Amino acid sequence: MKKIFIVLVLQLLLYSNSFCQLIDKLDERNGFKTLKLGDDISLFKDKIQFYDKNSEITKYQYIGLEPELKKLFDYSLSGLILSFHNSTNKLVVIELINEYQFNEYSYDHYKKASEDFEKINSNFSSLFGLPSPGKTEETSEKTVISAIWLSKKVLLKTSLIYYGLKKNSEISTIIADIKSIMQKTDAGF
């Protein structure tokens, strides 16, 4: 009995150690391909176009031509949004968007988005371990299903967004600097 307990404890320790090693890879990557959290806005002079602004961050549509930034795994991106902190001009959020257009003759845009969402999450799980338990949010306008990977420095969140039967669906992948998120939270508490 004692030997079985020791074997179980050792297996648990090995599993938790390998999980920690996987999630640490998220910190090592610190962004998406060549885009790194903390990069200065000056690195993107001719590659961004103003998108939106609030009191803390300014968002830009990435319009660079690098082909490697047009795909997440095997999935073509329809948009790439970079958010910079207004006071530091540092990159704090990268948002990758896969849009699935509604087709009045075929209602399987949501089915395709759901399948791709599962495959993208499976790829992230292979890289960083299993996500935190998923979350589903429903409003009258949309349904959002999310998965989250959280490391010491980086938050990775994938969301499947369904806007309704005769509207588009999308997958949003957010890579965010935890420090900037926590500063905002601390300021509000």
- For residue 135, is pLDDT > 50? yes
Residue 58 burial by Cβ neighbours in a 10 Å radius (0-12, 13-18, 19+): middle
What pLDDT, in 10s, does the model give residues 76-128? 999 999 999 999 999 999 999 999 988 766 667 888 999 999 999 999 999 99
Averaged pLDDT, 53-58: 95
Strand-pairing partners, residue 35, are: 32
Domain hosting 70: range is 2-188
Q: What pLDDT is recorded for position 155? A: 97
Q: Which two tokens stand for residue 106?
A: 């075929």
DSSP 42-109: GGGTTTEEEEEE-SSEEEEEE----GGGGEETTEE-SEEEEEEETTT-BEEEEEEEEEE--BTTB-TH
- For residue 67, is pLDDT > 70? yes
Compute the C-alpha angle 181/135/128, nearest 5°: 65
CB neighbour burial string for 137-163, b if at least 16 within 10 angstroms, e if fewer: eeeeeeeebbbebebebbbbbbbbbbe
pTM, rounded to two decimals: 0.84
Q: Are 113 and 169 in contact (CB under 8 A)?
A: yes
The DSSP code for 131 is: P
Q: What pLDDT is recorded for position 107? A: 67
Q: Which amino acid is at 33?
A: K
Pairwise pLDDT comparison (74 vs 189), residue with the higher score? 74
Pairwise pLDDT comparison (71 vs 1), residue with the higher score? 71
The DSSP code for 41 is: G
Confidence at 133, pLDDT banded by 50, 70, 90: confident
Q: What pLDDT is recorded for position 105? A: 64
In the chain, how many domains are there?
A: 1
Look up the CATH number of the domain holding residue 150. 3.40.1000
Pairwise pLDDT comparison (154 vs 14), residue with the higher score? 154
What pLDDT, in 10s, does the model give residues 14-24? 334 444 478 99
The DSSP code for 33 is: T
